[in-house]
Amino acid sequence: MASSISAPTTAATSLTGSFTAEAFAAHLERVKHLPSWWLDRKRAAYARFAALPMPRRTDEGWRFSNLATLTLDGFHLPAAVGRDQLQHRELGVTGAGHLVFANNRLVAHQPLTTAGDRGIIFDTLQNALLQHGDLVKSHLLTQPSKLGSDKFAALHEAFLEDGAFIYVPKGVEAALPVGVFHYACGNGAAVFPHTLVIAEDNAKITVADFFRSDAGSRNFAPGLPLNQFACGGNDLYAGHGAAVTYIAMQDWSRGTLSFQFNATVARRDAKVLSLNLHAGARQARHESFSQLSAPGAHSEMLALTVAHGTQEFDQRTLQIHQAPNTSSNLLYKNALLDAAKTIFSGLIVVDPDAQKTDAYQSNRNLMLSDEAEANSLPGLEIQANDVRCTHGATSARIDREQEFYLESRGIRAAQAQELLVFGFFEEVLGKIEHQELHDILTEIIREKFKQ
Amino acid sequence: MSQLEIKDLHISIGDKPIVKGFTLTIKQGEVHAIMGPNGTGKSTLAKAIAGHPDYTITGGDVLLDGKSVLAMEPDERARAGLFLAFQYPSEIPGVSIANFLRAAVQARMAEGEELDASGYYKRLYAKMDLLKIDRKFTSRSVNEGFSGGEKKRCEILQMAMLEPKVALMDETDSGLDIDALRIVAEGVNAQRSGPSAPGILLITHYQRLLDYIVPDFVHVMYAGRIVKSGDKSLALELEAKGYDWVKKEFAAATA
Ligand SMILES: Nc1ncnc2c1ncn2[C@@H]1O[C@H](COP(=O)(O)OP(=O)(O)OP(=O)(O)O)[C@@H](O)[C@H]1O
Ligand SMILES: [Mg+2]
C-alpha cells in the first residue's frame, strides 16, 4: 500500500516534530565546549527521543491524559534575550543568591555572599560540567524515567543547554534560600530548564525554582495555538542526614505545553521536602520519582494546583522505599475551577527488605465547578510485611455552610471561594516555614483568582 | 435611625412552610427577645433574613432602613448592616480568624482603599481583650476545635468588629458557663451604648441571659409566628410556667 511505503519518512518527522536532527546538531554546536561524556550522553538521548513513539491511548502511564493536544510541532530553539525583557522580580529575600535563565541561557547571577555559605557551589550547570564534572556526572539525570515520559525525558537531556547547579558540602547549612528563575520568552520558544541540587552529608539547603514566561507571552489568550514548550527537570540528592527543601513554582504562559521531571534520592536519615505549585501552562505534566534508599530517609512530596479555564494538570508520582524504616508523605491538593482537568496517578512501592516503612499518599480535589474533572489513580505495591501504608483520594465541593458563613460576614462570593481554597491549601502551605517563600506562593495562587 | 422591619414573613424549606406570617419591627438600640419551643422556626427566621440559600421566602418582606433586602445576596445584606450570630457557627479549617475578619472588614471598604493593618490589629486586640479571648486565637482556624463557649464568644467578636445596624443573635447563650455568659453579655452591652448601637433580635430559651442583656421587648414565637408579646416580665412568666399555656391560648384563638 502507498501509505506503508511513505511511512518511514512521515513517522520520522512526526516523532521529532520541531526537534529535528538539524535542530539537535545546531544545539550540539552551541555546547560543544562541554565534556565529551556529556555530549555522548546527549547524542544517545537524542537517538532515544527520536526512536520512541509518542504516548498512546493504551499506555497505562497516560491514562486520562489528553493525547490529542500533545505535540512537538510549532516550536523552535529561541534566540537569546536580555534581562530587561523579562520583567524579572527577585526572590524577595535580602542577600539571597539567584540565577536567572532566559531561553536556556544565563542572564543574571547573584552569587552567595554569606560567610557561612563558604564551600557551597551555586553556579550554572555548564560551569559545573567544566569544573566539577565528576559531581555532575554522578547526579545529573542518573535516575531512570519510570513514569511514562521516557521520550520527553530523553528530549530534555538531549536539548538541556544550561541550568542551575547547587552543591552544599558536608555539614554546611546554607543561611538563606537560593532562587533559580527560568524564563521562556517569545512565541514558539522551547526551553529545557534544569536544577540539580546535591546536599552532602548533614548539609542543609532551601531552593526555590521559578518557571515563568515573558510578559508578552503571559497574556496569551486561550483558544490560540500553543505558544511555548517547556521540558524541564530537577535532580535532588540528599546525603546522610541532609535536609533539602525544594519549592517549585510553575507559572508558564497559558499557551505552554509543559513537562517537568523530578528525581529525588534520599540517603540515610535525610529529609527532602519538595513542594510544586502548578499554576501556569495549557497542559502540564509533572512526574515525580522519590527514592528512599537508606534507613531513616524521609521524603515529603507536596503539590498544590489551581486549575482553571481548560487547563490540564497531569501528575504522576512514584515513591520507592528501598530500605527499612523509611517514610514518605505525599499530599497533592488540587483546586479545580471552570472546565479544568487534573489527573493524579501515584504509586507507592515497598521493596521486600524495606520493613517498617511508613508511607502515605493522598490526593485531594476541591471542585469549584460542575464542569471540572478530577481523576485519581492511587496505588500500592507492597512486598514487605511489616509496613504502614495509607493512600486515598477524595473529591469534594465547597461546603455550602462554610460559604454562607463567610458571605454572611459581608465577604463577596469570589473572595469567600478564595479564602476557602486557601483554607484547603493551608495544610500544605503551612509546612513552608520561610515567610517570603510562603508569601510568593500565596501571591501566585491569589493571582489565579484574578484571572 | 436604623430599623429592620419584618412584615408578614412566610418562609418555606422545600415545600414545607416553617415561618407563617412573622411581623416585627426592630429599631436601632432596641433589644427584642424571641423565645419559643424547639422547632418553631426561630433559626429559620434568622437564617432566612441573613439570606441562607436553603430557605425560600414565600411571602412578606424584610426592610432594612426602608429598603427590601430580599433580592440581595447574603454578602450584600451583611454589608448593608445585617449580622447573624449563628446558633451553630461553621468550622472553617485553614482560614485563620485574623484573615477571615480582615477579609470581612476589607469587604466593607471602598475599592482601592488600603486597610491600615496596625489599626486593624489594635482594634481587634481591644475587642478580644474585652471578650477575654486569648490573642493567640487570631492565628487559629475559624471555629475549628473551639469549645461551644469559644465559638459563641467568637461570634460576638465578629459582631463587635463589623458594627452591624441589626444583629440577629441565635441562642448566643447556649453552651456558655456562667462566667462566659457574663462576658458575652458585657460584650453585647458594650455595643448597646453609643450612637451606633445596633437593634438586636435575641433568640434564647433561657431567662438567665435576659438578666444580663435586659430586653426592651419579649416575644413568644410558636408555629412560625409571634403569638404573644410583652416586656421582660413575660420571660419570667415563661420560665415559671413553660409554653403550654401559650400553646393553649394560641389553639383557642385559632380554633
Ligand atoms: N435545612 C432544613 N431542612 C429540612 N428541615 C429543616 C431545615 N432546617 C430546619 N428545618 C425544620 O424546620 C423547623 C424549624 O426549625 P428551626 O431550626 O428554625 O427551629 P428553632 O425554633 O430554631 O428550634 P430550636 O429552638 O431547637 O433551635 C424544624 O421542624 C426543623 O426540623
Ligand atoms: Mg434554633
Please give the pLDDT value at position A220: 62
Measured distance CA(A172)–CA(A169) in Å, rounded: 6
Instruction: Tell me the CA–centroid distance for residue A398 and ligand 1, in Å.
Output: 23
Which range is least confidently modeled, A3-7, A365-369, B12-16, B246-250?
A3-7
Main-chain phi, psi angles of A233, to 5 degrees:
-155, 165
Output A94 or A186, whichever has higher pLDDT: A186
Measured distance CA(A87)–CA(A185) in Å, rounded: 11
- What are the pLDDT digits (tens) for A88-109? 888 778 888 999 999 999 999 9
pLDDT at B120 over 60: yes
- β partners of residue A191: A230
Instruction: Tell me the CA–centroid distance for residue A60 and ligand 2, in Å.
Output: 53
User: pLDDT confidence of A223, banded at 50, 70, 90?
Assistant: low
Please give the pLDDT value at position A451: 74
The CA distances from residue A54 to A58, A151, A224, A281, A400, in Å, are: 11, 7, 23, 20, 43
- What are the pLDDT digits (tens) for A262-297? 999 999 999 999 999 999 999 999 999 999 999 999
Contacts of B78 in chain A (CB under 8 A): 407-411
Residue B252 CA from chain centroid, whole number: 32
Contacts of A409 in chain B (CB under 8 A): 75, 78, 100-101, 103-104, 107, 158, 162
DSSP state of A115: G
Q: What is the mean pLDDT of residues A429-451?
A: 92
Query: What's the CA angle centered on A420, arms A399 and A328, to 5 degrees?
Result: 100
Number of H helices, E strands in chain A: 10, 20
pLDDT at A2 over 50: no
- The CATH code for residues B3-10+25-254 is 3.40.50.300
Contacts of B164 in chain A (CB under 8 A): none
**Minimum Cα–Cα distance from A420: chain B residue:** B95
- What are the pLDDT digits (tens) for B136-183? 999 999 999 999 889 999 999 999 999 999 999 999 998 889 999 999
- Alpha-carbon gap: B233 to the closest alpha carbon of chain A (Å): 33
What SS3 class is residue A222?
coil
pLDDT at A3 over 50: no
Question: Considering chain B, what is the average pLDDT of its residues?
Answer: 94
Contact A204, A434 (CB under 8 A): no
Closest residue to A423, CB basis, from B73, B89, B93 = B93
Q: What is the mean pLDDT of residues A209-224?
A: 79
N-terminal to C-terminal alpha carbon distance within chain B: 40
A404/B90 touch (CB, cutoff 8 Å), yes or no: yes
- What are the pLDDT digits (tens) for A116-159? 778 999 999 999 999 999 999 999 999 999 999 999 999 999 99
- Alpha-carbon gap: A273 to the closest alpha carbon of chain B (Å): 21
Closest residue to A409, CB basis, from B52, B53, B162 = B162
Give the residue, out of B10, B13, B221, with the most ligand 1 atoms within 8 A of its beta carbon, to mutate for a pocket test: B13
Q: Which residues line ligand 1 (CB under 6 A)?
A: B 13, 18, 36, 38-44, 54, 87
Measured distance CA(B121)–CA(B139) in Å, rounded: 12
Contact B107, B75 (CB under 8 A): yes
User: pLDDT confidence of A4, banded at 50, 70, 90?
Assistant: very low
pLDDT at A18 over 80: yes
Measured from the Cα of B46, ligand 1's closest atom is 18
Please give the pLDDT value at position A10: 43
Instruction: Tell me the CA–centroid distance for residue A409 and ligand 1, in Å.
Output: 22
Please give the pLDDT value at position A323: 97
Closest residue to B90, CB basis, from A402, A419, A424 = A402
Give the residue, out of B9, B10, B40, with the most ligand 1 atoms within 8 A of its beta carbon, to mutate for a pocket test: B40
- What are the helix (H) ranges across A160-284? 215-218
ipTM: 0.96
Compute the Cα dihedral for A136, A137, A139, A140 and give only its sign: positive
Residue A60's region, left for phi above 0, alpha for psi from -120 to 50, else beta, is alpha
Residue A109 CA from chain centroid, whole number: 22
Contacts of B141 in chain A (CB under 8 A): 423, 426
Closest residue to B103, CB basis, from A401, A402, A415 = A415
Q: Which residues of chain B have a Cβ shorter than 8 Å from any chain A Cβ?
A: 50-53, 73-75, 77-79, 83-84, 86, 89-95, 99-101, 103-104, 107-108, 141-142, 158, 162
- β partners of residue A415: none
Q: What is the mean pLDDT of residues A380-395?
A: 94
pLDDT at B85 over 60: yes
- What are the pLDDT digits (tens) for B3-47? 999 999 999 999 999 999 999 999 999 999 999 999 999 999 999
Tell me which residue has its CA closest to atom 3 in ligand 1. Answer: B13
Instruction: Tell me the CA–centroid distance for residue A408 and ligand 1, in Å.
Output: 19
A405/B75 touch (CB, cutoff 8 Å), yes or no: no
Contacts of A426 in chain B (CB under 8 A): 93-95, 141
Contacts of B64 in chain A (CB under 8 A): none
Closest residue to A409, CB basis, from B53, B91, B158 = B158
Please give the pLDDT value at position A221: 64
User: pLDDT confidence of B227, banded at 50, 70, 90?
Assistant: very high
User: pLDDT confidence of A11, banded at 50, 70, 90?
Assistant: very low
- Domain positions in chain B are 3-10+25-254
Q: What is the mean pLDDT of residues A188-206?
A: 98
Instruction: Tell me the CA–centroid distance for residue A16 and ligand 2, in Å.
Output: 67
B90/A405 touch (CB, cutoff 8 Å), yes or no: yes
Residue B162's region, left for phi above 0, alpha for psi from -120 to 50, else beta, is alpha
Please give the pLDDT value at position B116: 92
Please give the pLDDT value at position A8: 41
What SS3 class is residue A10?
helix
Tell me which residue has its CA closest to atom 13 in ligand 1. Answer: B39
Contacts of A420 in chain B (CB under 8 A): 92, 95
pLDDT at B83 over 50: yes
